Amino acid sequence: MGPGVSRSEKRKIIAGLLFISPWVAGFIFLTLYPLVSSAYLSLTDYSVLADPVFIGLDNYKHLATDQLFWQSLWNTFYFAVLSIPINLITAIFLAVLLNFDLTGKKIFRTIYFLPSLVPMVCMGVLWQWMLNGQVGLINQVLWPICDALNWMTGTNLAPPNWLANPAYAKAGLVLASMWGVGNAVVIFLAGLQDVPRTLYEAAGLDGCSFWQKTVHVTLPVISPVIYFNGIMSLIGSFQVFAVPYVMTNGGEGPGRSLLFSATYIFNKGFESWSMGYACAVALILFVIVLGLTLLATYLSERHVYYAAK
């Protein structure tokens, strides 16, 4: 603090620092320290109980040829690529609908938000049954549709055994994850309500249709919100764990189709007690998410519009 800082300013700075100190302490002890120590542990053979033994890059060497690691990474990317756009588009679509001035819109907003309040474990159990190939609600709806199609076209279609068939397991999980879209919807709604009416009026005077207004007014103005939700769902989808873990009763899905990176980290760390190895996987996942986030920031720089700038 320079000589120009007055006594009262100094007091304010100290008070400010004290106010944020619980967060800073939390960050240092609960985030930064584990991050740094897991980076170190990834270079060791560590079974949690015995002291870690330094083995250099050995864990990473094994990872390079670990088929299950690559499969878990592939599954994670597959899920992210499938779920992020679907969830974002659905959330924007719902938010736009809920932004219309309808009677009872508050009730609708509540209804669409409610599922995201359901705890992950309950969601896993619930969707395990929703997606059941024989008695699940999804297939109860699909059966008559398949029957009708079969009758008309003479095909032999049947709804899939979602969670027993590797070809459909991830699609089933994406379907389940759409249930948690309510959070993003609320954030989009807040963004939508921030779009100045004057812009719509001006666009209206220029003869813009609803679609043109959406593309040229709404989306650019809410672009920071889209960016935020995009990054959050990117991080979220790379951390996917609880729902598939519960859905498969702690397993890895048919043909390991629901073995995600986070599942693999958990299994290695807490089932095989190879914590050093698990840390190496975690660190790689961290680098990937960091890289993707930076890439997204770079790519979206030209497209994200901040009113304050």
Partner 1 sequence: MSPLSTVSVSIIAIGVLFLLTIGDEDDKVREDGRIEVEYWEKWTGFEREAMEDLVAEYNRSQDQVYVKFLSVSNIDRKLMLATAGGNPPDVAGIWSSNLPVFASNGALTPLDVQLSESSLGEQGYLPSVWRQLVVYDRVWALPATPGTNALHWNKQMFRQAGLDPDRPPRTIAELEQYNDQLTQFGDNGQIQAMGHLPVEPGWWSASWSIWFGGTIWNGDSRVTATSDANVAALKWIESYPERYGAESLMGFRQLSGVFASPENPFFRGRVAMVLQGPWMYNFINNFAPKDFEYGVAPFPTIDEEDYGASLVETDCLVIPRGAAHPEEAFKFISWLQQPEQMEALCLAQLKFSPLKEVSEDFYERHPNPHIHVYRELAEHPLAQIRPQMVTYNDFSNDMVNAIDNVMRNKMQALEAAQEVQKRQQALFTRKHEAWLKIQDKRLKEWDQE
CA distance 134 to 219: 42
Task: Figure out which of the listed residues 93, 270, 299, 303 binds partner 1, where binding follows CB under 8 A.
Answer: 270
**Contact range with partner 1 by CB under 8 A, out of 47-55, 176-184, 227-235, 282-290:** 47-55
Contacting partner 1 (CB under 8 A), which of 39, 60, 62, 216?
Answer: 62
Q: Give strand pairing partners of 45.
A: 53
- What mask of x and - would describe binding to partner 1 in positions 242 to 261, judged by CB under 8 A? ---------xx-xxx-----
**Is 75 an interacting residue with respect to partner 1 (CB under 8 A)?**
no
Asked if 68 touches partner 1 (CB under 8 A), the answer is yes
Q: How far is the CB of 184 from partner 1 (least distance, A)?
A: 31
What angle, rounded to 10 degrees, do the helices at 120-130 and 166-177 form? 130
In angstroms, what is the minimal distance from the CB of 129 to partner 1? Answer: 10
Which residue from 205, 222, 235, 278 is spatially nearest to 46, judged by alpha carbons? 278
Pattern 126-165, partner 1, x by CB under 8 A: ------xxxx-------------------------x-xxx
Distance CA 309, CA 307 (A): 6
Residue 267 near partner 1 by CB under 8 A: yes
* Residue 307 touching partner 1 (CB under 8 A): no
- Least distance to partner 1 from the beta carbon of 117, Å? 25
Q: Which residues pair with 44 in a beta bridge?
A: 54
**What are the C-alpha distances in Å from 123 to residues 83, 116, 131, 164?**
17, 9, 12, 18
Identify whether the C-beta of residue 144 lies closer than 8 Å to the C-beta of residue 137. Answer: no
Residue 132 dihedral angles phi and psi, to the nearest 5°: -60, 130
User: What is the pattern of x (binds partner 1, CB under 8 A) and - over residues 27-46?
Assistant: ------------------x-
Cβ atoms 229, 187 nearer than 8 A: yes
Distance of alpha carbon 281 from its chain centroid, rounded?
19
Tell me how far apart the alpha carbons of residues 131 and 165 are, in angstroms, rounded to a whole number: 11
Nearer to partner 1, 68 or 195 (CB): 68
Binding site for partner 1 (CB under 8 A): 11, 14-15, 18-19, 21-22, 45, 47-50, 53, 62, 67-68, 132-135, 161, 163-165, 251-252, 254-256, 267, 270-273
